[in-house]
Structure 1
Amino acid sequence: MIEQLLIGSALILGSVIIATVSWWALEAILIRLHGWSARPPHGPKLVVILSLALFWTLFMMTVSVWVWAVSLFWLDIFITLEASVYFALVAFTTLGFGDILLPQEWRLLGGLAAANGLLMFGLLTAILVEILRDTRARQRKFY
């Protein structure tokens, strides 16, 4: 049990650190685009900024799922990488089909993966809202 909790906690911490560093890199890109995004026309530029942020978010979610999947495969919990990716994605999104289950000695990792997914969705949603708010605030100052 302790081993599962330590591994799951390390995976959560790792995925959050990866997402944080990645968003820090996106922020550097967005800072470079400040002047461009504040000038009219605002609509198309807002679409570009939000699309960039959404693709970045999708990439971060994908990386987080792969971190879990590779770890599950490396721990020999699943025989194939495909099964590991499938389980990680289903757990991360809290969909929980139940067609692929963790062995009983590893079942706590399923709950930790779901908790990680919820945490990541919340974190990334908050960042998307902040990017939209910041972009619109800069555009309003230009009027």
Structure 2
Amino acid sequence: MLNVLLIGMPIVWGNLLLQTHINVWSIRYYLRKSGQSTRDAQGAWPLFGVITILMFGTMLQIALWGALFWWLDEFPTLETAIYHSGVNFSTLGYGDLVMSAKWRLLGPLEAINGALMISLSGATILALLQQQLRDKFRGTAN
């Protein structure tokens, strides 16, 4: 079990670092692209950009886990490893592909990592939507 943690935790920490930077980049992108305007759809494109950035970041994290699984020789192809990783990261858990007993604890570790990272992306989107609403109501109050 210690081996699993020694192998898996650097990926978790790497994903935490990656997600932190992706969230910050997303917020900076949004702030740069969304000026004050009276048009109702004014914030749609910056928000779309943020969602795209966050989605790309999630896919990158899935690929990182998949690369680890492939490197550990758990799956015959990188594509299969990334598929398995996507099922784990999203907490879907089909169970159609199973890891060996030696590394199977990496699955729940990735699922916990994925749940946290996807939640953080959702929180970022929600915070930006709330900011849009605050800006809109502030603009109409004047």
| Greater helix share, structure number | 1
Counterpart among 37, 40, 47 of residue 39 in structure 1: 37
Residue-by-residue CA offset, 1:6-38 (whole Å, 9 max, x unaligned): 22221111111111112212222222234x2x2
Counterpart among 75, 82, 85 of residue 85 in structure 1: 82
Supply the AA of the counterpart residue of 1:39: S
Supply the AA of the counterpart residue of 2:8: G
What is the match of residue 2 of structure 2?
2
Whole-Å separation in 2 of the counterparts to 1:4 and 1:23? 28
Whole-Å separation in 2 of the counterparts to 1:141 and 1:124? 26
Supply the AA of the counterpart residue of 2:128: I
Whole-Å separation in 1 of the counterparts to 2:33 and 2:91? 35
Q: Is the 8 A contact 2:62 2:85 kept in 1?
A: yes
1:49 Cα deviation (Å)?
Answer: 2.6
Whole-Å separation in 1 of the counterparts to 2:39 and 2:116? 35
Supply the AA of the counterpart residue of 2:114: G
Q: Is the 8 A contact 2:50 2:125 kept in 1?
A: yes
If asked which structure has higher relative contact order (CA below 8 Å, sep 6+), I would say 1
How many pairs were matched up? 140
Whole-Å separation in 2 of the counterparts to 1:18 and 1:81? 21
Query: Which runs of 5 or more residues in structure 2 are unaligned?
Result: none
The answer as to 2:73 corresponding to 1:96 is no
Supply the AA of the counterpart residue of 1:13: W
Whole-Å separation in 1 of the counterparts to 2:59 and 2:74? 20
Whole-Å separation in 2 of the counterparts to 1:7 and 1:133? 38
Supply the AA of the counterpart residue of 1:142: G
1:87 Cα deviation (Å)?
Answer: 0.6
| Paired residue secondary structure (1:9) | helix
| Paired residue secondary structure (1:102) | coil
Percent identity, please. Answer: 29
Whole-Å separation in 2 of the counterparts to 1:45 and 1:51? 11
Residue-by-residue CA offset, 1:32-85 (whole Å, 9 max, x unaligned): 234x2x21102x123213212221221111011011011111122212101101
Supply the AA of the counterpart residue of 1:41: R
